[in-house]
Structure 1
Amino acid sequence: MTGAAARRGAADDLAPAEGSEPWPRGVSREPAMKIGEVVDRLKAEFPALSVSKVRYLEAEGLISPHRVGNGYRRYSVADMERLRYTLTAQRDEYLPLSVIRERLTELDGDMDAPPPAPVARVVASDGRTVAGAFDADDLVHHSGASLAQIEELVTIGIIVPDAHGRFDSRALTTVSLALRAGRLGVPLRNLRTVRSAAEREADAIELATQHKRSRSTTAGEDAAAELAGVLAQLHTSLLHHAVDALR
């Protein structure tokens, strides 16, 4: 049995008892969407998402779309929400697929688990509704930062806009953390050292995973995300030790 088949088998063994509905509950399970439609619907939140990525996550046992008579996959809204949960956990928490799979299994068994949260949407200054994207005015409004602070964070490379002057969904969290650091006594300009440390760690991750990227983009991305999570925990541990040494 292959590793992927074993993971699917383990997921089946932990599936909800017959008659109970897996997570998310209260969401349509009609298999009405093709794989391309699912990718198109999630593309604004996850620009790098591809058909091959969705198929990879299916092979890893994270989602189980319906198969119609000709063997083609059909996805429901519930399938799409499980996919969104998986992609968000990878992007925002750098969790390995094994941990995400365990979380989904726990949600399947928890009958009181809440329905998926609605996608965060921001209304930009020109009245357009934007999913997962922010301009400087949006960041000012939602973070409580001043425009000057946003500009300073851009100048020192803590947040980076795209060619259209927009920021991805993580920028809001980054700005909020930078402001908290400022309130605790670290000037924004001093956050350059934090950015530099993150860039050095990213270089180490790139070097460590480049052989996997050369064989499979998806496998390389997942390996990089998992390693980032490990290094983030290691960094936290070492930082606490360093602070304890100051006492």
Structure 2
Amino acid sequence: MEVQSTGRRPGTAVIFNIGEVLAQLADDFPSVTASKIRFYEEKGLITPQRTPAGYRQFRDSDVERLRFVLALQRDHYLPLKVIREYLDAIDQGEAPTNLPPGVSIAPRMVSDELGVELKRRSRRLSSEQLRAECGASAGLLEAMVSYGLVEMRDGSFDDQALRVAKACTELAAHGLEPRHLRPFQAAADREFGLVERAVAPLASRRDGASAARAAEAAREIAELCLGLHSALVQSRISSMEAP
């Protein structure tokens, strides 16, 4: 068992070693062991920091994640793959859908650093803020909106709109204006339709595990579609280089 001193200083974030984590969990989960915690780390369910000497350092958020995982396994018999999907949703700033009855997400499951990042992700941007971050002119942003490439909701833009606007701005520098990019919007709609149909059998079920698997399958299929699209375009570009 790792018992290296955590070396805490006043005013710093509270750090626990693995023995202290086990002590915190002992009342609710008396059977948990250091080996089990290491196993969860191997599976990517928790990611404790490491000292230069290699000792694990756990924060409050790590302990709460362990409680979440252990409770789902003990009380609901969920496989680690499904639990990982719930955690992935939380890490992406989303609320996991169809959690088992009685299961809630502790606020401390999100680390301070991740909390700052999630706050950034959930921000709302005005037209001026969007233009400042992506470098678009007022006319270019107006064209993006008119061609349906970015969408204003409730009078503001989100970070997904910012990602699209940045790409459109960079493409405009190569002479590809928003009016030229309509095929990308149409292709995205068609690919989304394919993904939606592929996961429909899972998405139609009412249990939380099926919903989590449907979301994971949707992400996987979307990534494969993007990979196929990129490969096809690259093959056309390669043909330009052929003698």
TM-score, length basis structure 2: 0.57
Partner residue in 2 for 1:65 = none
1:202 aligned to 2:192? yes
Distance 2:118 2:38 in 1: 34
Q: Shift of the alpha carbon at 1:12?
A: 5.1
Partner residue in 2 for 1:52 = 98
What pairs up with 1:21-100 in 2 under 5 angstroms?
A: 21=57, 27-29=59-61, 46=93, 49-50=95-96, 52=98, 75=106, 77=108, 79-81=109-111
Distance 1:198 1:177 in 2: 15
Partner residue in 2 for 1:64 = none
Distance 1:206 1:133 in 2: 27
What is the aligned residue count?
A: 172
Counterparts in 2 of 1:75 and 1:190: CA distance versus 1, 3 Å: same
Partner residue in 2 for 1:149 = 140
Q: Which of 214, 224, 230 is matched with 1:220 structurally? A: 214
1:235 aligned to 2:229? yes
- 8 Å CA contact retained: 2:196, 2:218: yes
Q: Shift of the alpha carbon at 1:119?
A: 2.5
Q: Which has the larger radius of gyration?
A: 2
Which 5+ residue runs of structure 1 have no aligned equivalent? Answer: 1-7, 36-41, 56-70, 83-114, 123-129
Query: Where is the strand percentage greater, Structure 1 or Structure 2?
Result: 1
Distance 2:222 2:97 in 1: 24
Counterparts in 2 of 1:9 and 1:144: CA distance versus 1, 3 Å: same
Distance 1:172 1:243 in 2: 28
Partner residue in 1 for 2:116 = 118
- 8 Å CA contact retained: 1:30, 1:76: no
Partner residue in 1 for 2:77 = none
Query: Whose RCO is larger (CA < 8 A, sep 6+)?
Result: 1
Greater CA drift, 187-196 or 11-20? 11-20
Counterparts in 2 of 1:51 and 1:225: CA distance versus 1, 3 Å: closer
CA RMSD of the aligned region, Å? 4.0
- 8 Å CA contact retained: 2:98, 2:211: no
Q: Shift of the alpha carbon at 1:146?
A: 1.4
1:57-100 Cα deviation digits (max 9, x unpaired): xxxxxxxxxxxxxx9777463x3149xxxxxxxxxxxxxxxxxx
Partner residue in 1 for 2:160 = 170
Distance 1:30 1:224 in 2: 28
Distance 1:193 1:219 in 2: 30
**Percent of aligned positions with the same letter in both sequences?**
20
- 8 Å CA contact retained: 1:121, 1:131: yes
Q: Secondary structure at the match of 1:246?
A: helix
